[in-house]
Amino acid sequence: MSPENRLDQLWKRGRDFLGTHYAILGGAMSWISERHLVSAISNAGGFGVIACGSMTPDLLDKEIAATKAMTEKPFGVNLITMHPDLEALIDACIDHGISHVVLAGGLPSAKDIKRIKDSGAKVVCFAPALVLAKRLIRNGADALVVEGSEAGGHIGPVSTSVLAQEILPQIKDVPVFVAGGIGRGEAMLSYLEMGAAGCQLGTRFVCATECIAHPKFKQAFVKAHARDAIPTVQVDPKFPVIPVRALSNEGTKHFAEIQIEVIGKVNAGELDQKAAQLEIERFWAGALKRAAIDGDVETGSVMAGQSVGMVTSEQPAAEIMRDLVDQALTALAERDADG
């Protein structure tokens, strides 16, 4: 069997689930995963995902419509479960007939999953542990993303390789996509051979020519090494804060001060825990926008995964996609040659 046929076979389940040529999802990155990058990834044969982030329902409605105008290929929408207008955001996805809704940022309710599924859409959820993966499937999730701590942005405590070993052999009911620290096709191939249906990549697509990120933001990625992408520090264990992986700068240092300020408000009774978490999320949204859109890479948040060291230039999304696939095919072909 040719390398092409073997790769097709390995990610057939993922391709069929997504309705794409390649079982590669674009990671949903706030401010960055908007119409231009999403449509470029989908047009290149992958599956683009709009990052709703802190968008209002009206803004999401416009973003979906604008993306539809730029691609006829499948794409999805990533919604944050703690968003105060989650119900209205789900309405916007349903109204537009979105085929796949990705629920992130917390454990989604069975009610929300059912509502999305009743519209005919598929629901994709993040599974940070095996026990939660099983619960999400019981609650109706159609597919899972296993994302390790090497990823950029909000991260869990366990590495991609460990999560993949823990979850892939155990979960067969639904397709499982692996994410976090993936920057080359050989890594994608290894997870496919372990049983993954496909992979999700975010950092690798930030320097796509179609991405609207500021030139300074992209240049920071090109210059960075894997060790430069570090997780934020939690100041108070009694106030759990999801770590964020970003390139080390003044912004990452400032986050510790923000935590102390917010914890002080909670202790003084000025904020409850949920409101405090939302305030921190707003801080990140603002800091990321300053870096990604305005180009302030010194005090803004340059969220990046550890695969950032493999980003060496700006390329069209289709070229990035082709490089990834070619790397996987070359690995398969070399195996044949070694016989």
The span from the CA of 303 to the CA of 326, in Å, is 27
Tokens 């409605």 identify what position?
A: 61
Across-strand partners of 303?
A: 246
With respect to residue 105, please indicate whether it lies within any of the assigned structural domains.
yes
Q: What are phi and psi of 2, to 5 degrees?
A: -70, 155
pLDDT band at 90 (very low <50, low <70, confident <90, very high): very high
With respect to residue 255, please indicate whether it lies within any of the assigned structural domains.
yes
Same domain, 76 and 131: yes
pLDDT digits (tens, 9 = 90+) for 154-209: 898 999 999 999 999 999 999 999 999 999 999 999 999 999 999 999 999 999 99
Which of these ranges, 53-67, 262-276, 320-334, has the smallest mean pLDDT?
Answer: 262-276
Q: How far is CA 95 from the centre of its chain?
A: 24
Q: Tell me which residue range forms the domain holding 196.
A: 3-212+312-333
The span from the CA of 200 to the CA of 177, in Å, is 7
Same domain, 145 and 238: no
Q: What does the pLDDT read at residue 55?
A: 94
Same domain, 157 and 236: no
With respect to residue 131, please indicate whether it lies within any of the assigned structural domains.
yes
Q: Can you list the positions of beta strands (E) in 81-164?
A: 100-104, 122-126, 143-147, 153-154
Same domain, 183 and 297: no
- CATH code of the domain in which 195 resides: 3.20.20.70
Q: How many domains does the chain have?
A: 2
Same domain, 81 and 179: yes
DSSP 260-278: HHHHHHHHTTSS-HHHHHH
Average pLDDT over residues 99-115: 95
Tokens 């904020």 identify what position?
A: 271
Asked if 149 and 160 count as a contact pair (C-beta separation under 8 A), the reply is yes
With respect to residue 220, please indicate whether it lies within any of the assigned structural domains.
yes
Same domain, 204 and 232: no
With respect to residue 7, please indicate whether it lies within any of the assigned structural domains.
yes
Identity of the residue numbered 207: C
Q: What is the CA angle 200-121-37, rounded to 5?
A: 40
With respect to residue 274, please indicate whether it lies within any of the assigned structural domains.
yes
Q: What is the DSSP letter of 82?
A: T
The span from the CA of 184 to the CA of 204, in Å, is 9
With respect to residue 104, please indicate whether it lies within any of the assigned structural domains.
yes
Same domain, 12 and 136: yes
Q: What does the pLDDT read at residue 251?
A: 86
pLDDT digits (tens, 9 = 90+) for 202-256: 999 999 999 999 999 999 999 999 999 999 887 777 777 778 899 999 988 888 7
With respect to residue 339, please indicate whether it lies within any of the assigned structural domains.
no
Same domain, 56 and 128: yes
DSSP 20-51: SSS-EEEP--TTTSSHHHHHHHHHTTSBEEEE
3-state secondary structure of 180: coil
What is the helix (H) or strand (E) element at residue 78, kind and residue range? strand 75-80
Same domain, 191 and 53: yes
Identity of the residue numbered 232: T
Same domain, 280 and 171: no
The span from the CA of 236 to the CA of 229, in Å, is 22
